[in-house]
Amino acid sequence: MPARTTPTTQATQATQADETARIAGSTAAPGVLAVAGALAAACHPLPAAAVTLFAAALTAAAGQGPAAAAVTVGAVAAGQLSVGWCNDRADLPRDLAAGRRDKPLVAGTASAAAVTWAAALALLICVPLSLACGLLAGAVHLVAVAAAWAYNLRLKRTAASWLPYALAFGLLPAFVTLGLPGTPWPPLWLTAAAALLGAGAHFANVLPDIEDDLATGVVGLPQRLGARASAALAGLLVLGSTATLVVGPPGRVTAYGRLLLVMTTAGLLLAARRPTGRLPFLTTMAVAGADVILLIVELRP
C-alpha cells in the first residue's frame, strides 16, 4: 500500500530538495584553505588515517623497501580518500534529513560537486598506484576499494553491510605481501584477523548513528540487530581478531600478546556499557593500534 503524502511531508521534501540544490549548485568561491579544510573533514579522516597507518605497519612488518612501501601506502591513502568522499556524497540526502550540520556538505562548507570530483580524482590516482605494486597485488587492492564503494552506494542498506568491511580489510595484508618478490600470499591467520577487525569496526562505527540511519532508511545488519546486540557483536569480532593475532603465528604466545588479550577484553567490556556512544568505535581504534604493534613484532623479518 503506498504511503500517504501529507502537506507536511511535501513541505519537508521540498525543503530537502531546495537544500540539496543549494549545496550542489552553490557558486560561492571560498578560499583555497577553506575548501581544503572542508574536503579534509568530508573524507572521514580518522578511519582513513587509521587504515593508511595499518597499511604502513604491514609494509614495515613485511619488509618492503622504502620506495615500494611509499607506493603501497600511497595507493591505500588514495583509495581511502575516494571511499570517504564517496560516502559523504552518497549520504547527502540522508544527512540533510537528519540535520547533520557536522557534515561539511550539509553545513555548506563543501559543495557536492567538489566532493564528487575529489572522490573521482582520488580513485583515478588509486588505480595506477595500486597496479604499480604488481598486477596481482593491484587487482586485489582494487577489489577491496570496489567493495568499499559498493558499501557506500548500496550494501550499507542491506543485511550484507558487514561483508565489504570484512572483504576490504581481509584483502589488505594480501595487497602488501603480493607486492613482495615472489608474490607470496599472507598467512591465513593474518587474513582472518584483518577480516574480523574490519567487520568489528563496521558494527562499532555505526553505533552512534543507528537511530538516524533507521529514520532515513538505512537498515544494514547493525541497524536490524539494534545497538546493544551490535555493540556486543563488535566486541566479540574485535576480540576474535586480537586472539587470532596472538595465537595464530607459530611459536609461543608472547607476554605482550597475553597482556593485549587482557587489555582488549577489559576495554571492550567497558565500552559495552555505553553502546550508543563513540566509546565502542574509539575502543576499536585503540585495539587496532595495539594489534598493529603486535603485528610488527610477529612479522618483522
| pLDDT tens-digit readout, 244-256 | 888 888 777 777 7
pLDDT tens for each residue of 278-301 = 677 677 777 777 777 777 666 555
- Higher-confidence residue of 229 and 145: namely 145
Buried (b) or exposed (e) across 145-180, using 16+ Cβ within 10 A? bbbbbbbbeebbbeeebbbbbbbbbbbbbbbbbbbb
**Greater pLDDT, 30 or 172:** 172
Residues ≥6 apart with Cβ < 8 Å to 293: 256
Statement: the pTM of the whole predicted model exceeds 0.85? no
Most confident of 9-23, 52-66, 135-149, 190-204: 135-149
- How far is Cα 204 from Cα 227, in angstroms, rounded to an integer? 9
pLDDT exceeds 80 at position 23: no
Distance from first CA to last CA of the chain, Å, rounded? 63
Question: Pick from 124, 154, 125, 127: which is nearest to 139 by CA?
Answer: 127
pLDDT of residue 10: 43
Averaged pLDDT, 255-273? 76
Could you report the per-residue pLDDT of 217-226, keeping only the tens digit for each? 889 999 999 8
Please give the pLDDT value at position 276: 62
pLDDT at 3: 44
Higher pLDDT, 155 or 266: 155
* pLDDT in the model for residue 2: 44
pLDDT reported for residue 298: 63
